[in-house]
Structure 1
Amino acid sequence: MFILGVYYLINYRLRIKKAADLSKDALYPKIDDEFNSILLPIEWKEMEPLAKNTKSYQYVKWGTLIALLLLLALLWIVLATEWLGSSFFSVVYLFIVIINSIKHRGNLFILSKGIILNGKFYSSNQIKNYQIEKIVRWHELYGLDDRVNNAYKITFKIKKELFPPNYIVVKDSAYLERMILLLDEQGIPGMKEKELANSSVGNFTTKS
């Protein structure tokens, strides 16, 4: 369990670093209005650049080091005491808390040959399709934030991905249409512009 935790933290750190380097060549978003068009789940904050000088990136950078030190301390306590035998679930809980505490803010960058989704790069051939839902009344996201109402939820399905990454929300159709065009140019299947114009809510996927 300790080895898996260390591997996850280091791999996550390297993944964010790679994404930060690749995001410099993103086709979308590039300007402030395009960044502001994307809302991130839970807190519904507008997307920010994935740069090495941002607070979120620095949090992952130094947080990974601190988390590794905490895991080492936890391992030492387990090996030096009988805590594991008497409080197995407490050890597991602390382990999970430490691992999950290092998270970068969500993001979506469209590149020429793939996307960056929540800090991880996926090439075009790794993406099975994308699905779009308009957030109207009775949608699960409707009412969570005024900016989310009547916006668009976009979810990517990734091939051979056991736990698919989270979705993002695009504020209006003008920005979404731009994103669809860029995805279509890569051959990534999804909802077409005519379907978008005529739809009110639901999932749309073209043939793969």
Structure 2
Amino acid sequence: MSKRDTPPSSELVSAAQALDAELLRFEALSEQLKEAPLTSEKHLERASKTLKDLADLDDALRLRVGALVQAITGVRNRQQAQADAVNLCAQELQQRTEVFKELLTRYGALGQSAADLNGRMQEFAALRQQATRTAEEEARLTEVFTALQARMAEVADDAATLTRAAEEAKFTDIGRQAESLRQQLLSARNKLGLLHQSLSK
């Protein structure tokens, strides 16, 4: 793996290990210098060389510290980028949840409306069967039938609106359920119309 391909976490570990290795060498040479005898020319030359090596290591340590700081900064930037991305995902999740709840509430209201209409249809059918077909009763039944047909068409339109809204929001499950409800309402409306016509003859 090339240096460019090395993950930031590996760069951080490598920088820390390199710094630790240089620090151990620096400490070892420091102890060696402190304990070195200075009683001969050879000792003095050796101590001078050790001192030079320590100076070189000191420069190297500064570079290693700089590399570690850079690696830490890279990791921090990477973590911040991930945190920002997670925050955006959290905001999107909240928004999508709110949209879903709103669509689900509307679908629940549609279901309640459909249930109410089903009850009204059954009541209308029972009344239609029991009617003695006086002019007054016929007029009343026609009024109820017209209002019921209009309400069914209204709820079907609401279902169509919800279907479009759900599809635009990419909540296809709710869209399919709303469309299915609309189809059921239109079918029931047609059947009610046929029933009313057959009983009017």
Q: Do both share a fold (TM > 0.5)? A: no
TM-score (norm 1): 0.24
Q: RCO higher in 1 or 2 (8 Å CA, sep ≥ 6)? A: 1
More strand by share: 1
Structure showing greater radius of gyration is 2
TM value normalised by structure 2: 0.25
More helix by share: 2
